[in-house]
C-alpha cells in the first residue's frame, strides 16, 4: 500500500479548470466531491480565504471520476463491511 508522504492541494484555478473541463455546475461538482451543495463547493474555489482540498477529498473526487461503477460499488461494499451505512441519491453523469 502506498502512503502519501507529501501533498499540496490543487489551486482554486485548478478546481475551476476541472469544473469547466467536466462541464459541471457548482452543485454537480459538490455532488462529485461529496459536499451538500454548490455553496460548499465554492468554499474551495473562491472568496478571500478559500479552503484547501484535503488529500482524502481529492482522492474521493479522482476515484469517482476514474473508476468504473463496479469498482466503486466494491469500495462502497467495503465501507459497509467496515461498519458504514450508505444511502445513495440519483446518479449524476
Residue 58 is part of a domain; what is its CATH number? Answer: 1.10.260
Place of cell 469517482: 64
- Res 48: pLDDT: 85
The average pLDDT across 2-10 equals 94
pLDDT digits (tens, 9 = 90+) for 42-73: 999 987 899 999 999 999 999 999 999 999 99
DSSP string, 16-34: HHHHHHHT--HHHHHHHHT
Confirm whether 92 is domain-assigned.
no
Give percent above pLDDT 70 in the chain.
96
Above 70 in pLDDT, residue 36?
yes
- Res 93: pLDDT: 61
Comparing 7-16, 42-51, 84-93, which segment has the lowest mean pLDDT? 84-93
Confirm whether 64 is domain-assigned.
yes
Per the model's pLDDT, the better-predicted residue between 86 and 90 turns out to be 86
| 56 closest CA partner among 48, 46, 64, 68 | 64
Confirm whether 37 is domain-assigned.
yes
Amino acid at each position: 500500500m502506498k502512503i502519501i508522504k507529501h501533498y499540496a492541494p490543487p489551486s482554486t484555478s485548478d478546481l475551476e479548470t476541472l469544473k469547466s473541463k467536466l462541464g459541471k455546475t457548482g452543485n454537480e461538482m459538490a455532488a462529485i466531491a461529496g459536499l451538500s451543495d454548490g455553496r460548499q463547493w465554492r468554499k474551495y474555489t473562491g472568496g478571500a480565504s478559500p479552503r484547501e482540498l484535503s488529500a482524502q477529498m481529492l482522492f474521493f473526487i479522482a476515484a469517482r471520476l476514474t473508476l468504473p461503477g463496479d469498482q466503486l460499488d466494491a469500495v462502497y461494499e467495503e465501507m459497509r463491511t467496515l461498519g458504514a451505512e450508505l444511502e445513495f441519491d440519483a446518479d449524476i453523469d
